[in-house]
Chain A
């Protein structure tokens, strides 16, 4: 075993899982370092949930190796369970129990950890302590689920799409809680299809598609490696008078010009040179500009550049 492998909080080696004829995870290799927040980013069906459930010991892989905190599911399952905090994507906790009763139940399974009221305070649900789970809002339910994952003071926290379906305010609240946990020096593996979530929370991300990691690195590295600094999207021309894209691609500092849903998308290194050049070229072709947008490159653009699809395309 190499020294880095021994130090890794999570190590996946040639992981493979097939459901009937669908390959969910296709030879995945991954390493999560201790005290790191690692994000699995990808569209629905990319294999994120299958991967995280294999790491959680809930699904057995068809082939490959899994090592969590230096332990293995086939040998050390009960020791491992004590050290993990897990939040699943679709769990509905019992609606007839109160928040406190639910947290006490989960706390009772762990040998050590904070008292139930402390965990409830941690996720800011003190006022709802005596309320039935059925009466909580979506964000409150998600924070309760997080509390249930934190009751054993875990060394490693697994979060499967923690903010899916929440309103923006509830998402920000949950992000703050996850950041607190990060500050405490614990390891986190989370899946998400929100690039802003991954950019804000994750130290490193793996972008998954069709069961494979197609890119790996810090959000900044990924953006740098795949995209230029800025993206320009504009609409011009009609079916009758199409724009000559080849002329655009020939301009210095503009690359990866591609038509997309009636508009055009391209990467540029320097906005202040590229935009005047674009306008000049349009003037030369005598085609009016109907829309122009620019933004700094994001993980979404990395995904689009790598796959030609958007993250939230079904």
Chain B
């Protein structure tokens, strides 16, 4: 396309305005990486920890020491109680009446409960218990089941929503506030080209935005992409278009930046919370689930997770794709009906 073509010029203007806005660059590219890095580090899976416990007699300390996951100290009853109280040990084993054993621990503390099971197993085996069922462990520590694997698709969905809605909504409301839309409409400019330039620039920036988040996840945390890349690309384009249409709808009549910000946040905030960006949407009550499933961000994130982590293909995600197409069509048609060109 000739660079003097109005669509080329309008799209170039979109890029120039975006690139010359340092804050926008930060929120779209740097912020998601910082967020992913912070959460990835905070929720990293640690190797199984050795628990500190105390035994009051050597007769108890010796068999307990055979358990590799327990670090046993022999303390007097008074010292042991003090250590339990201030959290230095998770459990105290003391002899009870008639050769029995008594465990003191806080049952609301997961470490206490784990220590209770490990200590009891060690003592029962030392006392001659034989497990009737033979069992063995196979350890799963591969990528795909960690928190960061859950979070990266959520972050990607959130980023797709934020950049599309802000990118379109803010630019249009700003242009309307400055009477720039009115000025452009006073020229022979095609109104379709004006709207199309937003979509074109968004699709190009989309490649960068998705690339940054996925690339960061893959390089730093080895987050997998098990589905096809082409399917993932299509899904991202569809998601972005749906959010663009929603952004266009929100911006169709608003005159001030303040009103636009309020409207955008009112629409996006419930989705940040309900759509499973940071934690599973399943935690909300069953009665709310149909509503949550119908939100565009839920559809995007569910589809992204299924595609990246379970390797689902696009046809398997038909329900989510249908929800997104529905939002796209309804928002776009309404936006065109309501749009105020001045």
Seen from chain A, the residues whose Cβ lies within 8 Å of a Cβ on chain B are: 56-58, 78, 81-82, 84, 86, 88, 90-94, 96-97, 101, 104-111, 148, 152
B135 within 8 A of A: no
B5 contacts chain A at the CB level, 8 A cutoff: yes
Q: How far is the CA of A105 from the CA of B12 in the complex (A)?
A: 9
Bound state CA distance, A56 and B188, in angstroms? 12
Chain A residue nearest to B21 (CB atoms) is A96
| Shortest beta-carbon distance from A271 to chain B in Å | 47
Partner of B188, one of A96, A101, A104, A109: A109
The answer to whether B9 and A108 have CB atoms under 8 Å apart is yes
Assuming the contacts A104-B9, A108-B5, A108-B6, asked whether A96 and B186 have C-beta atoms less than 8 A apart, the reply is no
Contact B187 A58 (CB under 8 A): no
21 A–B contacts from the bound complex (CB under 8 Å): A58-B182, A58-B342, A81-B186, A82-B188, A88-B179, A88-B183, A90-B179, A91-B183, A92-B178, A93-B180, A96-B16, A96-B20, A97-B17, A101-B13, A104-B4, A104-B9, A105-B10, A105-B13, A106-B187, A109-B187, A152-B188
Q: Which 9 A-B pairs have the closest CB atoms?
A: A92-B178, A81-B188, A108-B9, A96-B20, A91-B183, A86-B186, A108-B6, A109-B189, A109-B187
A88 touches B182 (CB 8 A): yes
From A90, A91, A108, A111, residue with most partner B Cβ within 10 Å? A108
User: Helix, strand, loop or mixed for chain A's interface?
Assistant: loop
In the bound complex, residues from chain B placing their C-beta under 8 Å from that of A93 are 178, 180, 183
Encode B169-205 as 1/0 by CB contact (under 8 A) with A: 0000001001110111111110000000000000000
Within 8 A of A (CB), among B13-50: 13, 16-17, 20-21
Residue contact A108 to B188, C-beta cutoff 8 Å: no
- Which residues does B use to contact A, with CB under 8 Å? 4-6, 8-10, 12-13, 16-17, 20-21, 175, 178-180, 182-189, 342
What is the distance, in angstroms, from A7's C-beta to the closest C-beta of chain B?
25
List chain B residues, Cβ under 8 A from A107: 4
Distance in Å: Cβ of B197 to nearest Cβ of chain A: 10
**Could you tell me the distance between the alpha carbons of A104 and B183 in the complex, rounded to whole angstroms?**
15
A148-B9 Cα distance, complex, nearest whole Å: 14
For A158, give the chain B residue with the smallest CB separation.
B186
Taking CB atoms, residues of chain A closer than 8 Å to B180 are 91-94
- The answer for the CA separation of A80 and B16 in the assembled complex, in Å, is 30
Q: Is the CB of B188 within 8 A of A94?
A: no
CB distance from B340 to the nearest CB of A (A): 12
Complex interface: chain B residues within 8 A of A82 (CB):
188
The residues of B that contact A92 with a CB separation of less than 8 Å are 178-180
Using Cβ atoms and an 8 Å threshold, which residues of chain B touch A96? Answer: 16-17, 20-21
- Smallest CB-CB separation from B341: which chain A residue? A58
Q: Which residues of B contact A105 (CB under 8 A)?
A: 9-10, 13
- Give, as a whole number of angstroms, the nearest-CB distance from A255 to chain B: 46
Give the residue name and chain of the A residue nearest to B183 (CB): A91
Q: Which residue of B lies closest to A88 (CB)?
A: B183
Of A57, A81, A105, chain B has the most CB atoms within 10 Å of the CB of A105
Least Cβ–Cβ distance between A113 and chain B, in angstroms: 11
